[in-house]
Amino acid sequence: MPSFKILVLPGDHIGAEVIREAVKVLRAVEAHPSVAKQSIKFDLDFDLLGGQSIDVHGIPLTPQVIEKAKNSVAVLFGAVGGPKWGMTGALRPETSVLDLRKALNCWANIRPCKIPSPGVAKCSPLKESLVSGTDFIVLRENLGGVYFGEKKEELDYAHDVWGYHRWEIERISRMAAYLSRKHGGPKGPSKITSVDKANVLAVCRLWREAVTTIHDREFPDIPLHHQLSDSLALIMVKNPRSLNGIVMCDNIFGDLFSDEAAAVAGSLGFSPSACLSGIPGEPLSTGMYEPSHGSAPDLPPNKANPIATIQSAAMMLRYSCDLDFLANAIDEAVSIALDDKASGGLEVRTGDIGGTASTTEMGDAVVTALLQVLDKAESNAMSESARL
């Protein structure tokens, strides 16, 4: 297999800490004998973004970083921002992330909502009986809608235009279909829940009609359900398991419901994300992978939860590198590292989820579990080969 060129942008404050642990996991994957013999390599190129870039270059995002990102299979990013760079306008560190997504044309945002281990289901603000088994993905159209519409702001009146072209809705619908098949696996495609407010908004009536039309024409085998946005907000906290599958939203609804989904999981430390510029495997498709949390400048050193960043790296292997078996191994390792000792886990947890482990210790626990998972997989493969 060829090496995978990956641009790594740690960013500011805890961004560097959590990225360090994700890189540690990738290096552990690469070094395992079962992986090394397949010649799988990760060519990691590190650069600056956000405040760190401002300190060195005077701007939060340089043209050189944009060019590197365009020439990489994927971008793995930490977090940016902090009081040191209390600037406004184009010099705000946070603009670097938006500008990079725009430069890469990352129109599809993917945010999984899944309890990473049975032992941490109690971290959710919802009852454990409600959240156990929850496994859905919030898919957000990322470059259209009201956030990118015409704006007018006067002293006593303001408006934002909320519009979509049919082709934008069709594009995100095709991504939903891809994710549905990926998510469902051998059991068949998962349900797609399309979110709108078609009983009130014209743009949402187009959304529903376009989604239905392309679904019936191109992927009629995939279950499709339309859900009004206000009732979805209720369902997500009352019965999140009923949403298992793909929850497809426009830009503003996706913004709202992806954050609600993170709360369901119990911590932003359990909320990885991906921004894709195309359906994986298609030409000119690249991805940007990052935790959903911010840079947490007030957090003491080595206290951040790196799980979301490690899971983002797993998503990168799944969607940008087509290495599902390694992505699954990392997810399993995360589950073992977090799970109760009584259930066979390592029970290592950072402070945000009721533990005392440092960022480094959490990453080390995932690596320890990962080596066990890969060793077991290699042993099973050898046994199966001998049997045949």
Indicate the helix (H) or strand (E) that contains 212.
helix 202-218
Question: What's the CA gap between 387 and 107, in Å, rounded?
Answer: 47
Q: Count Cβ atoms below 10 Å from residue 348 Cβ, excluding itself.
A: 22
Pull the structure tokens for residue 37.
Answer: 């013999």
Asked if 312 and 272 touch (Cβ cutoff 8 Å), the reply is: yes
Residue 291: strand pairing partners: 272
Question: What's the CA gap between 189 and 198, in Å, rounded?
Answer: 25
Residue 351, burial from CB neighbour count under 10 angstroms (0-12, 13-18, 19+): middle
43 included as an active-site residue:
no
Asked if 18 and 306 touch (Cβ cutoff 8 Å), the reply is: yes
Asked if 14 and 304 touch (Cβ cutoff 8 Å), the reply is: yes
255 included as an active-site residue:
yes
Which candidate in 5, 182, 197, 303 is catalytic?
Answer: 197
197 included as an active-site residue:
yes
Q: Which residues contact 205 (CB under 8 A, 6 or more apart)?
A: 196, 198
User: What are the angstrom distances between the C-alpha of 247 and each of 59, 79, 205, 293?
Assistant: 36, 25, 17, 21
Which candidate in 147, 182, 303, 324 is catalytic?
Answer: 147
Which candidate in 45, 99, 135, 255 is catalytic?
Answer: 255
Which candidate in 45, 259, 303, 324 is catalytic?
Answer: 259
Strand 151-153 relative to strand 272-276, pairing: unpaired
Which candidate in 230, 322, 340, 375 is catalytic?
Answer: 230
Catalytic residue numbers read: 147, 197, 230, 255, 259
